Amino acid sequence: MPTSDDRLIVALDVPNALAGLDLAATLGDAVGFYKIGLGMLTGGGLALANELKTDHGKRIFLDMKLFDIGATVEAAVRGLAQFDLDFLTVHGDPHVVRAAKEGASGSTMKILAVTVLTSLDRQDLDAGLIKAGTLPDLVAERAGRAFAAGADGVIASPQEAAMIRALPEATGRLIVTPGVRPAGAALGDQKRVATPAQAISDGADHIVVGRPIWQAPDPAAAARAIRDALPR
């Protein structure tokens, strides 16, 4: 039985780098892949990413969801690429994806495009003046356009994973799914969810889990339970 399974990515949604290091120490060999997001940026997130990568051999997903004019995105990604990270998120607009891929050239960092945030539903899209259509159809369309622009993968809810995996453009590309909750776990701020096993079965390559692990009485045991429930 492997000590960790990199299909499971644990979101380090804790206040600062010291808390992140403490959690990583608690999880130990049960977890080999971590997500560090915007909430950690001013709390030493990049330093934490570098330490977990270089000193502890962990894989790192930097969840920045970059969105700006092409030149700015390209410059930002080029700067982040020097940290030898594994994944970086940008918004899935084709001009953003193209700029990010240019900035990442020469590195092994994979660019993942955000389709529609897993905390949003159709009512939220209406409030944001997003065009009509069902949410799964919009996610699939955005995913296809992101792939065409060169994205190495996409971020999508587990409920859209199967639809995206079926796209011809998705061959050889990654699908990473937040909004994953073990059976019985609280939904929190997520609106489009599935269990870890279901997400993988539907075509996801990686699942992202945060609170159900780090709020558990025994985080390492919670991580191992999720890992062991994933399809082989």
Q: Which of 35, 53, 58, 65 is catalytic?
A: 65
Give strand ranges (E) for the chain: 8-11, 33-37, 59-66, 87-91, 110-114, 153-155, 174-177, 206-209
Question: What tokens were used for 172?
Answer: 């050889």
Tell me the sheet residues that pair with 154: 113, 175
Torsion of CA 18, 20, 22, 25, to 10 degrees: -140
Instruction: Calculate the CA 89 to chain-centre distance.
Output: 7
User: Can 101 be counted among the known catalytic residues?
Assistant: no
Cα 108 from Cα 104, distance rounded (Å): 8
Half-sphere exposure of 39 (CA within 13 A, CB side): 8
Catalytically active residues, by annotation: 65
